[in-house]
Amino acid sequence: MRNFIIAALLLMPVTAFAQDNTWEMPEPTQQQGNPDAKYLEGAVPEVDGRVVFQTTIEAPGKSARQLYDILLPILQQQCREAGQFEQSRIVIQDTTTMQLVASYQEWLVFKNQPLSLDRTRLMYHIIVDCADGQASIQMTRIYYLYDEERQPQTYRAEEWITDRYGLNRSKTKLARISGKFRRKTIDRKDYLFGKYTRALQQ
């Protein structure tokens, strides 16, 4: 019995101690309509063949420099959040063009149950361009490194989560395998853009 307990404890750092996506809100217990509707056709935009999520946040009365100074520490703090890899960093801080570029590598967890952990490394860039009264933000250059502890597989967003690859042929359901990447990537984008919006519009 003692040996069994020790063996179980040795497994725990990989499973039980692995964190869920700490930014996610609990899913509502009751949902009307199709719960996957927000993830279906058109939810992953492409610009010149590249997946680019983008938003423009209006912040009347704030200068470009004020918006820059608000977002810089937020992007820096994001580099140090739970689930981030040491490679996450700010790569451009330009107060002349008022541009910020951050490169992130983080865990994106699909399922975390006892003795069953399904996750991928998510890599992406956040590009911020500040102007008086507004900030334009992009999430792009998205890659995944999946199953890296056993049989590493690398996927580009353009070949994995677009409408062509992330949905079934009739565009009515998420694809069986790549669909989970599409869902969690959209959820992460929504969370980040919401956080930036709240910070700039306070």
Helix (H) or strand (E) holding 141: strand 134-146
pLDDT band of residue 34 (cuts 50, 70, 90) is confident
The whole-number average pLDDT for the span 189-197 is: 98
Distance in angstroms (rounded) separating the CA atoms of residues 30 and 28: 6
**Residue of 30 and 27 predicted with greater confidence:** 27
The pLDDT of residue 88 is above 80: yes
The residue with greater pLDDT, 34 or 100, is 100
> Has this prediction a pTM greater than 0.85?
yes
Report residue 171's pLDDT band, with 50, 70 and 90 as the boundaries.
Answer: very high
DSSP track, 66-133: HHHHHHHHHHHHHHTSTTB-TT-EEEEEETTTTEEEEEEEEEEEEEEETTEEEEEEEEEEEEEEEETT
For the cut 70, the answer to whether the pLDDT of residue 5 exceeds it is: no
Check pLDDT > 70 for residue 118: yes
